[in-house]
Amino acid sequence: MPTETASMFNPASKVSKISHCSSMEQYKQMHDKSLKDPEAFWGEIAKQFHFEEKVRGKFLDYNFDTSKGKIFVRWLEGAKTNICYNCLDRHVLAGKADQVAFYWEGNDPADAEVVTYGELLKDVCRVANVLKAKGVAKGDSVAIYMPMVKQLVVAMLAVARIGAVHSIVFGGYSADSLADRMMDASASVLITADAVWRGAKLIALKEIADEALKLCRAKDLKVKMSLVVKHMDTVTAPQPTSNGTAPGNAAKKTHFDDKGNYKLDGRFHVTGELGPLLDVWWHEVVSAASSECDPVWLDAEDPLFMLYTSGSTGTPKGVLHTIGGYMLYTATTFKYSFDYHPGDIYFCTADIGWITGHSYVTYGPLLNGATSVLFEGVPTYPHIGRFWEIIEKYKVSKFYTAPTAIRTLMKFGDEPVKKYDLSSLAVLGSVGSPSTPEAWLWYYRVVGDSSVSIVDTFWQTETGGHVITPLPGATPCKPGSACFPFFGVEVALLDEEGHEIKGEGEGYLVFCRPWPGMMRTVYGNHQRFETTYFKKFPGFYCTGDGARRDSDGYIWVTGRIDDMLNVSGHLLSTAQVESSLVEHSSVAEAAVVARPHIVKGECLYCFVTLTEGKTYDDKLIAELKVKVRSKIGPFATPDFMQLAPGLPKTRSGKIMRRVLRKIAVGDRDFGDISTLADPSIVEKLFELRPKET
């Protein structure tokens, strides 16, 4: 570890005077209290929210040990509330109807809209009434397959208002994936849109949704309605670029009529194939519905939503979250991790189709009455400075994105960032994968002008909210470390036999007790919940990640245990090797996988993406090998190195390592690569395999 990356970054001056938690002493005190007396700690927080009925049973009850019976977690027994009421009505009743909830920023910079809390509440009530009229009731599940538009937020809150359960499927998934998820959730309604531009690419959502509905019908799923937002009429299509190419043109030929209108003919109101009339235009029914709708008071432990996440084996798991605990946890993590204060403008770049969007675009910010930017587009359209342009435009103070986005933008150098006034920024967050010290430092210095707090938040779909994170103004950060557990979270590191590693060391990252926002079950498969998370180490929730605790007690998440590799008996994390590769100035991004090796067991196979203008040659290969060797040790010297013009990433930015492992061994049996953002990269990488393999 070079001295620079090991150095501490003190809580930034911009937040330290006013932060909710302003010193490590205060953090420790609050964290201790949250573990010693969860009822007192979370009970105090619960007072900010409206509960129609208070807790009558146990505040917290749980079992984490399969040998003692069924695994369960229950918070706030007997309490009744409604999360939609707490997100909207509570603020409107407090006189904040005119406050902006969202600045919607379209894919094209010309498209923008402002949505207040008052308008949001009325729209939510209208949609809730439409759903009720279709017979959707408490406990029913509603699938949502939408672009990043305000109607997506409206839809999810409307579902929550009437006690139904939302199951949002990211708008980049295929018809098969949508159908699988709808089937698993037994969704009775689908809410979608005609289509959306993402960058210069058209995503024909309704077309895909219809394919999915056909598949559902073939398997006897009774869907009552598909509620369709007409979005294309309201947005600006991609314009021809200066070099004469016209982005989106191919899609325009097939999907638009001569007048430039998006065509849905032959698809809308299809009665033959899809059975009874399913399709209903959102704008027709919603505007006709009443803008008042009483919330349904629900049990704290009633389901709020399910969200599918891939499992290492088999079908995706429907991670189920419940109302009360998730509400307290997303609200509190949002407030402390981003040090949210009234007046802040907050911008999270995640799609609502992922947990980050659920917790930190919709619920966390709205529960705090915050004002956010809701962004439909991508970071590189129409130019590579789009994020920075948006930050300048809205004077964003709190910004939250993924290391993969940071690394992508870092490739273009400092210039595109420096063009914009980013002086409003006070906290920069990151989530999704281990942040390399290099990306962390670039984020801090170039985007944050060395005067912000960086929060590297570790969490999972399953955890509902941040579980390990620094707190702005309190935690002195080390670049690349998620630092310390959030309130209510008790971390342990275990070795293979389940013995706890105290002090310095590396092992399985587990949690010793429940926090309010954790998942309650895998929808329809409680057995799978128990085996996936509790079987390996009875008494602990197992994250599936490895982590290291350093001599100062900082937690460094090293990545999924399944991304660990064993070279001649040395346990290595792929992230560790990747981090040393990207330290070389020619490398923008790296992905490392294990390749079976006859002597070493496994050896390292590295894919490297170069920074603009750099050349890939023998000299560079030699330098990179030396880099890894000197950073980690001779045993970590990569055996194989190959150039990667791009990496096979899912639309959420996760590198699909199983594909890289196949390429590494020269096996074309890639399996399903349909969820990749750009499946064509796989063939390109295969062609670029070095000769000696």
Q: Which residue in the set 22, 86, 356, 609 belongs to the binding site for ligand WT7 (CB under 6 A)? A: 356
C-alpha–C-alpha distance, residues 60 and 71, integer Å: 14
Residue 559 or 638: the one with the smaller Cβ distance to ligand WT7 is 559
Q: CA torsion 215→221→226→231, rounded to 10°?
A: -40
Q: By rule CB under 6 A, what string of x and - marks binding of each residue 473-492 to ligand WT7?
A: ---------x----------
Going by DSSP bridges, is the β-strand pair 112-116/72-75 parallel, antiparallel, or unpaired?
unpaired
For 108-167, give the secondary structure using H, E and C. CCCCEEEEEHHHHHHHHHHHHHHHHHCCCCCCCEEEEECCCCHHHHHHHHHHHHCCCEEE
Residue 175 or 557: the one with the smaller Cβ distance to ligand WT7 is 557
C-alpha–C-alpha distance, residues 469 and 103, integer Å: 27
Min dist CB 432 to ligand WT7, Å, is 5
Min dist CB 651 to ligand WT7, Å, is 12
Q: How big is the site for ligand WT7, counted in residues (CB under 6 A)?
A: 20
Q: Which helix (H) or strand (E) holds 374?
A: strand 371-375
Q: Which residue in the set 163, 432, 507, 514 belongs to the binding site for ligand WT7 (CB under 6 A)? A: 432
Residue 107 or 356: the one with the smaller Cβ distance to ligand WT7 is 356
Q: What is the DSSP string of 33-85?
A: HHHH-HHHHHHHHHTTS-EEE---S-SEEEE--GGGS--EEEESTT-EE-HHI
Q: Which residue in the set 328, 355, 426, 467 belongs to the binding site for ligand WT7 (CB under 6 A)? A: 355
Site for ligand WT7 in 434-463 (CB under 6 A): 434, 456-461
Q: By rule CB under 6 A, what string of x and - marks binding of each residue 314-353 to ligand WT7?
A: ----------------------------------------
Q: CA torsion 51→57→60→63, rounded to 10°?
A: -140
**Binding segment (CB under 6 A) for ligand WT7, from list 160-168, 541-549, 609-617, 628-636:** 541-549
Q: Are 607 and 592 in contact (CB under 8 A)?
A: yes
Mapped onto helix, strand or coil, the DSSP state of residue 28 is: helix
Residue 213 or 307: the one with the smaller Cβ distance to ligand WT7 is 307
Min dist CB 170 to ligand WT7, Å, is 11
Site for ligand WT7 in 47-106 (CB under 6 A): none
**Interaction between residue 650 and ligand WT7 (CB under 6 A):** no
Contacts of 308 (CB under 8 A, 6+ apart): 167, 169, 181, 184, 316, 317, 318, 319
Min dist CB 511 to ligand WT7, Å, is 12
**Interaction between residue 560 and ligand WT7 (CB under 6 A):** yes
Mapped onto helix, strand or coil, the DSSP state of residue 461 is: helix
Min dist CB 186 to ligand WT7, Å, is 23
C-alpha–C-alpha distance, residues 277 and 314, integer Å: 34
Q: By rule CB under 6 A, what string of x and - marks binding of each residue 499-538 to ligand WT7?
A: ----------------------------------------
Q: By rule CB under 6 A, what string of x and - marks binding of each residue 392-431 to ligand WT7?
A: ---------------------------------------x
Site for ligand WT7 in 286-315 (CB under 6 A): 309
C-alpha–C-alpha distance, residues 550 and 685, integer Å: 37
C-alpha–C-alpha distance, residues 348 and 351, integer Å: 9
Residue 142 or 519: the one with the smaller Cβ distance to ligand WT7 is 519
**Partner residues linked to 116 by β-bridges:** 100
Q: Are 54 and 374 in contact (CB under 8 A)?
A: no
- For 448, phi and psi rounded to 5 degrees? -95, 0
**Interaction between residue 557 and ligand WT7 (CB under 6 A):** yes
**What does the binding site for ligand WT7 look like in residue numbers (CB under 6 A)?**
309, 355-356, 431-434, 456-461, 482, 543-545, 557, 559-560
